[in-house]
């Protein structure tokens, strides 16, 4: 009897498993989801989101939630957050009334949780999990109506497409509430709400106490959010008489998926996390309470907070105010708020009052502020408006272009609260004070003059010095001799070369996949080299994106006409280069030679180049340590192949971040690698004052004496490696000492035993990356940029050192640690090259004519 029942149940669950295998996204009246196994889930159509039963953290309680398919730990919504089910007896279904409910099979009575009280008795409803993570309940009548949706009841996560805000008509608000703990999704202490008063602001509350404030909306970001919001996501603020809300959507156009969530975690940290399948971890992109000055009212009224060195803070009274002496704990610095130096005698007008300007601030709390949406209002009118009301304490001329609010004037009534000062960005605030007497004013003026004169003088001297340096550098560069790539052997180099080329060419002709494209095909593919298809301007000519008639995407490099090489020679070179195949080299598909035109056709790389990610404040966050190491090792392997493992032995001569392209999985691919060959030979004839290479990546012996060898590529690689680790450019690097470049700074820190200080702060602090592994890489980088080429490792050493824990020699002082033009010490490095080049490719220096 019992076994019979069991058999029946088994058949039943088998049926369900079968049914759910096809990962449905909808349940209708007679279907339900039970807590019987992993197959009992809803999966959204694009497979981005999953709905099912889960237990948070270490808890054994069961909840119905929605999470990312790709990342199960990111639960974005919980239905029965306050009413856990004690065992696996929960059922999620549409009730007979058409309502979405969760019931406990072990419990009689009303459902544990229900979505909506639907009054029309009907079972003709269905619930569907959409691809943006929204669960909607709709009637089955194709009307497309939504009677209930989970996006209207956010828990602790703000997903793209969801609106967070306040409905002025109904008084209803959509806000976030933290979980109690990782084990308990019930409402915790923290909440995030959009306060509709004054100029609407986001507030983070602990209980009913505000702990953080976004500041008013400034058109494309919040006054108090010092980070661009719109790189991958279009962040939108809408304020109308009906409602005020914020929302955002994904605008990233990469070949990989990228997810984002704003999340209020259970310890009250409101953060923006980003996940991509290139780097499948949730990375914190922004956080509300990062610095002490972000804490609401840290400094009290009329006092401005500035972040200082060790993530501490300083409070300073706004102009015309002095520290509140009656505050017992006040150290005389305004941390207990500030009071007026002179009482404001209202009504006397402009003669007795003035406005003092405060630059680069997060605007004070706007709960009691008034916004005049008049685009044409001038600053004088703004000022007048403020003067006309005795309670007005300050104003700001703002430009709120977003949300259709236009620009205008914001004025404050009452105490100016929660001001913070930024070193750059932010807004200007004008604070109303009683006019100072003329004596005081003069004193101030004199002080300013006394301070400014020396500063201007100093700036002038620095400016002159810089210009002088620049001129000298230019002269040095211009004088570069020209060089040609030859292959060394005991025989006559020319002879060796031609026989070598001939042999390779024969082989190439037999099994080359190189195509010769007709000019008309390339013209059609690139829309006649239209400027909208231009991807960039390389050192050898512009690059265009194209699409062949079969749909294949290509990149076309249109070589500058002055390459001067004969057609036969050029063809031969290209056929040789097309034979170079390595996963870290961009693949050459073919070429096009017609009349004056010479073009190279490459595979198209959708994710642009490394510099596009590395040197961008936002995109750089997609590259965490593991990915960066992969990129470093990939580049090293590619260069090693060029130097040693390919038959051609090529010196790249222009390794730099913009020449490293990224494929759809963000694997690095070196581009422009055959250019040294194609251009090397002809340069002497065609273009006498051209130096291939990029300042900042050039080794000293190349930059100064025009000598290059595989070791100059090693140098460039070392620079690139340090750039990847630090996320900073070698040139244009600005840290403390303006004359020190990245290499110099890395070297100084290394000597002081603080090598890890160079690491990109985007990769997180301390234990977010393995310190010893990063240090090993920095060590390798410093070995590569040593002054003397013979001290630098070969690429095969580099690849070995990067992937093995081996003992490495200590690095010597690198070359060019200063940004100065390199004109000292040239002789020593020249001899260095000459003596170490026996078995490698050597250079014959041909003076330019
Ligand atoms: C649900 O089942 C009942 C009885 O089995 C049936 O009458 C009803 O039509 C079903 N409803 C739907 C929407 O399939
Ligand atoms: C779960 O318990 C383990 C062991 O007690 C503990 O290390 C871990 O931090 C707990 N996890 C959570 C999310 O509480
Ligand atoms: C979603 O999860 C299923 C397994 O549950 C997996 O087969 C599928 O590849 C996942 N899809 C994505 C986009 O991660
Ligand atoms: C649904 O109805 C019940 C009983 O009438 C009531 O207690 C509950 O508050 C209602 N829920 C909603 C969301 O209106
Ligand atoms: C928004 O809703 C929450 C919870 O319902 C409530 O505590 C809060 O006061 C509301 N906020 C506003 C601005 O009405
Ligand atoms: C707003 O974003 C821009 C970049 O989009 C940035 O330059 C500016 O500093 C930001 N404002 C604040 C207050 O952070
Ligand atoms: C937001 O909208 C309300 C109502 O339309 C308006 O009173 C207020 O001035 C607006 N705020 C801003 C900053 O535009
Ligand atoms: C994002 O929203 C903006 C403004 O609403 C819209 O113009 C844009 O098309 C949206 N982008 C996507 C990818 O949905
Ligand atoms: C995204 O990229 C695809 C392929 O490169 C392109 O067809 C599409 O127009 C792009 N979309 C946007 C919004 O840029
Ligand atoms: C919440 O976020 C903060 C800041 O990122 C982090 O330190 C803390 O550990 C997080 N709390 C939990 C429980 O994850
Ligand atoms: C000055 O500080 C005292 C004590 O903290 C406080 O009671 C008083 O309100 C403060 N005055 C002003 C103007 O902030
Ligand atoms: C100024 O504020 C006081 C107290 O808050 C109020 O009584 C008065 O009406 C206000 N005056 C004006 C002109 O708004």
Each residue's pLDDT tens digit, 435-455 = 876 444 444 555 555 556 556
pLDDT digits (tens, 9 = 90+) for 389-402: 889 999 998 766 54
pLDDT digits (tens, 9 = 90+) for 278-307: 778 888 888 999 888 999 998 889 999 998
- Given a contact cutoff of 8 angstroms between Cβ atoms, the answer to whether 573 and 677 are in contact is yes
What's residue 333's pLDDT? 64
Q: Is 181 in the pocket of ligand 10 (CB under 6 A)?
A: no
Domain 1-153 falls under CATH 3.30.1490.20: no
pLDDT digits (tens, 9 = 90+) for 266-278: 999 999 998 887 7
- Name the residue at shortest CA distance from atom 10 of ligand 12: 391
Q: E-assigned strands of 79-200? A: 90-94, 100-104, 113-114, 125-129, 135-139, 148-149, 157-158, 164-167, 173-174, 176-181, 184-195
pLDDT digits (tens, 9 = 90+) for 374-387: 767 788 888 888 88
- Given a contact cutoff of 8 angstroms between Cβ atoms, the answer to whether 318 and 419 are in contact is yes
Q: What is the distance of C-alpha 304 from the center of its chain?
A: 29
Q: Report the separation in Å between the CA atom of 329 and the middle of ligand 6, taken as the mean of its atom positions.
A: 35
Report the b/e string of 293-332 with b at 16+ CB within 10 A.
bbbbbbbbbbbbbbbeeeeebbbbbbbbbebbeebeebee
Q: Is 339 in the pocket of ligand 11 (CB under 6 A)?
A: yes
Q: Report the separation in Å between the CA atom of 333 and the middle of ligand 11, taken as the mean of its atom positions.
A: 14
Position 348 confidence tier, pLDDT thresholds 50, 70, 90: low
Pocket test for ligand 10, best of 267, 311, 767 (most atoms within 8 A of CB): 267
Q: Which two tokens stand for residue 147?
A: 């009677």
Q: Which two tokens stand for residue 357?
A: 């300007």
Alpha-carbon distance of 507 to 287, in angstroms, equals 58
Reply yes or no on whether 654 is catalytic.
yes
Q: Is 3 in the pocket of ligand 11 (CB under 6 A)?
A: no
What's residue 400's pLDDT? 60
What's residue 14's pLDDT? 39
Pocket test for ligand 8, best of 236, 249, 252, 404 (most atoms within 8 A of CB): 249
- Given a contact cutoff of 8 angstroms between Cβ atoms, the answer to whether 723 and 729 are in contact is yes
Q: Which of 56, 27, 55 is nearest to 40 (CA)?
A: 27
Average pLDDT value for residue range 72-100: 91
Alpha-carbon distance of 674 to 80, in angstroms, equals 62
pLDDT digits (tens, 9 = 90+) for 627-676: 999 999 999 999 999 988 776 788 888 899 999 999 988 999 999 887 77
Q: Which of 25, 365, 654, 760 is catalytic?
A: 654
- Name the residue at shortest CA distance from atom 1 of ligand 2: 58
Q: Which two tokens stand for residue 331?
A: 């150290």
What atom in ligand 3 is closest to the CA of residue 48? 13
Q: Is 223 in the pocket of ligand 6 (CB under 6 A)?
A: yes
Instruction: Name the average pLDDT for the chain.
Output: 79
Q: Is the pLDDT confidence value at 826 over 70?
A: no
Q: Is 55 in the pocket of ligand 2 (CB under 6 A)?
A: no
Q: Is 214 in the pocket of ligand 6 (CB under 6 A)?
A: no
Point out the ligand nearest to the CA of residue 233.
8
Position 122 confidence tier, pLDDT thresholds 50, 70, 90: low
What's residue 686's pLDDT? 29
What's residue 481's pLDDT? 32
Segments making up each domain of the chain, as ranges: 1-153, 155-290, 293-436, 481-603, 610-828
Q: Is 251 in the pocket of ligand 8 (CB under 6 A)?
A: yes
What atom in ligand 8 is closest to the CA of residue 251? 13
What's residue 782's pLDDT? 95
Alpha-carbon distance of 188 to 463, in angstroms, equals 57
CATH label, 610-828, candidates 3.40.50.10190, 1.10.510.10, 1.20.810.10, 3.40.109.10: 1.10.510.10
What atom in ligand 2 is closest to the CA of residue 58? 1
Position 169 confidence tier, pLDDT thresholds 50, 70, 90: very high
Q: Which helix (H) or strand (E) holds 332?
A: none
Tell me 517's DSSP state: P
pLDDT digits (tens, 9 = 90+) for 567-613: 777 787 788 788 888 999 999 888 888 877 888 899 999 888 999 99
Please, which residues bridge with residue 740 across strands? 818
CATH superfamily of 481-603: Phosphorylase Kinase; domain 1 (3.30.200.20)
pLDDT digits (tens, 9 = 90+) for 766-801: 667 888 899 999 999 999 999 899 999 999 999 999
What's residue 464's pLDDT? 55
Q: Do domains 1-153 and 155-290 have the same CATH topology?
A: yes
Point out the ligand nearest to the CA of residue 336.
11
CATH label, 155-290, candidates 2.90.10, 1.10.3470, 3.30.1490, 2.30.30: 2.90.10
Among 5-14, 360-369, 819-828, the least confident range: 819-828
- Name the residue at shortest CA distance from atom 13 of ligand 8: 251
Q: Report the separation in Å between the CA atom of 213 and the middle of ligand 7, taken as the mean of its atom positions.
A: 18
Q: Which helix (H) or strand (E) holds 272?
A: strand 270-276
Q: Is the pLDDT confidence value at 202 over 80?
A: yes
Position 98 confidence tier, pLDDT thresholds 50, 70, 90: confident
What atom in ligand 1 is closest to the CA of residue 123? 13
Q: Report the separation in Å between the CA atom of 415 and the middle of ligand 11, taken as the mean of its atom positions.
A: 12
Helix (H, G, I), strand (E, B) or coil at 841: coil
Q: Report the separation in Å between the CA atom of 173 and the middle of ligand 5, taken as the mean of its atom positions.
A: 6
Q: Is the pLDDT confidence value at 837 over 50?
A: no
What atom in ligand 2 is closest to the CA of residue 56? 13
| pLDDT > 90: percent of the chain | 35
């Amino acid at each position: 009897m019992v076994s019979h029942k069991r058999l029946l149940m088994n058949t039943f669950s088998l049926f369900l498993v079968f049914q759910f295998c096809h990962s449905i996204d909808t349940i209708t009246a007679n279907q339900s989801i039970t807590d019987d196994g992993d197959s009992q889930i809803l999966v959204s159509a694009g497979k981005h989101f999953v709905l099912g039963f889960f237990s948070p953290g270490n808890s054994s309680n069961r909840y119905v939630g929605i999470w990312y398919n790709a990342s199960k730990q990111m639960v974005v919504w919980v239905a029965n957050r306050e009413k856990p089910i004690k065992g696996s007896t929960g059922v999620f279904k549409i009730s007979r009334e058409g309502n979405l409910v969760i019931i406990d099979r072990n419990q009689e009575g009303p459902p544990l949780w229900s979505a909506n009280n639907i009054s029309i008795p009907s079972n003709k409803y269905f619930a569907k999990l959409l691809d943006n993570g929204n669960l909607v309940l709709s009637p089955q009548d194709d009307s497309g109506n939504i009677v209930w949706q989970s996006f209207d009841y956010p828990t602790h996560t703000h997903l793209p497409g969801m609106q967070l805000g306040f409905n002025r008509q109904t008084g209803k608000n959509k806000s976030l509430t933290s979980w109690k703990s990782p084990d308990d999704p019930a409402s915790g202490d923290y909440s995030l709400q959009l306060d509709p008063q004054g100029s609407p602001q986001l507030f983070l509350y602990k209980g009913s106490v505000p702990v953080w404030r976004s500041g008013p909306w400034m058109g494309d970001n919040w006054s108090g959010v010092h980070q661009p919001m719109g790189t991958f996501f279009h962040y939108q603020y809408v304020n109308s008489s009906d409602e005020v809300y914020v929302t955002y959507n994904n605008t990233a156009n990469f070949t990989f998926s990228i997810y984002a969530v704003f999340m209020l975690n259970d310890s009250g940290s409101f953060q923006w996390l980003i996940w991509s399948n290139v780097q499948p971890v949730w990375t914190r992109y922004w956080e509300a309470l990062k610095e002490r000055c972000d804490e609401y009212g840290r400094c009290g009224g009329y006092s401005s907070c500035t972040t200082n060195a060790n993530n501490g803070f300083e409070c300073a009274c706004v102009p015309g105010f002095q520290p509140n002496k009656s505050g017992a704990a006040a150290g005389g610095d305004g941390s207990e708020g500030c009071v007026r130096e002179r009482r404001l005698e209202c009504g006397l007008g402009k003669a007795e009052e003035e406005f003092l300007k405060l630059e680069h601030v997060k605007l004070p709390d706007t709960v009691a502020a008034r916004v005049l949406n008049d685009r044409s209002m001038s600053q004088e009118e703004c000022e007048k408006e403020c003067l006309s009301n005795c309670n007005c304490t300050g104003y700001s001329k703002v430009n709120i272009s977003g949300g259709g609010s236009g620009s205008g004037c914001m004025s404050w009534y009452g105490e100016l609260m929660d001001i913070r000062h930024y070193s750059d960005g932010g807004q200007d605030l004008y604070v109303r004070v009683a006019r100072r007497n003329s004596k005081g004013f003069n004193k101030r003026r004199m002080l300013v003059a006394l301070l400014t004169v020396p500063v201007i003088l100093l700036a002038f001297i620095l400016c002159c010095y810089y210009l002088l340096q620049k001129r000298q550098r230019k002269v040095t560069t211009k004088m570069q001799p020209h060089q040609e790539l030859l292959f060394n052997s005991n025989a006559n180099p020319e002879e060796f070369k031609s026989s070598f080329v001939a042999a390779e060419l024969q082989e190439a002709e037999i099994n080359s996949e190189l195509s010769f494209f007709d000019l008309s095909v390339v013209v059609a593919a690139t829309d006649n080299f239209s400027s909208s298809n231009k991807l960039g301007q390389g050192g050898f000519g512009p690059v265009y994106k194209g699409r062949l008639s079969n749909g294949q995407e290509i990149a076309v490099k249109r070589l500058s006409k002055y390459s001067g090489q004969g057609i036969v020679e050029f063809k031969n070179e290209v056929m040789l280069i097309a034979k170079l195949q390595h996963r870290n080299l961009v693949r050459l598909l073919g070429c096009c030679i017609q009349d004056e035109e010479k073009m190279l056709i490459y595979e198209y790389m959708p994710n642009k180049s490394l510099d596009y990610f590395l040197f961008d404040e936002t995109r750089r966050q997609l590259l965490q340590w593991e990915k960066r190491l992969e990129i470093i090792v990939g580049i090293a392997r590619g260069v090693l192949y060029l130097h040693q493992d390919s038959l051609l032995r090529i010196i790249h001569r222009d390794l730099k971040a913009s020449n490293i392209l990224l494929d759809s999985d963000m694997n690095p691919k070196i581009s422009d690698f055959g250019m040294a060959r194609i251009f090397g030979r002809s340069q002497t004839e065609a273009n006498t004052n051209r130096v291939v290479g990029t300042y900042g990546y050039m080794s000293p012996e190349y930059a100064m004496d025009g000598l290059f060898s595989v070791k100059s590529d090693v140098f460039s690689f070392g620079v690139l490696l340090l750039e990847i680790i630090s996320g900073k450019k070698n040139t244009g690097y600005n840290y403390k000492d303006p004359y020190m470049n990245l290499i110099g700074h890395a070297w100084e820190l290394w000597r002081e035993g603080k090598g890890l200080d160079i690491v990109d702060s985007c990769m997180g602090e301390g234990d977010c990356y393995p310190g010893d592994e990063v240090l090993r890489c920095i060590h390798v980088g410093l070995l590569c940029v040593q002054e003397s080429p013979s001290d630098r490792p070969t690429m095969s050493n580099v690849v070995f050192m990067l992937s093995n824990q081996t003992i490495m020699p200590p690095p010597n002082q690198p070359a060019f640690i200063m940004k100065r033009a390199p004109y000292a010490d040239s002789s020593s490095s020249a001899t260095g090259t000459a003596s170490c080049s026996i078995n490698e490719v050597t250079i014959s220096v041909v003076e330019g004519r």
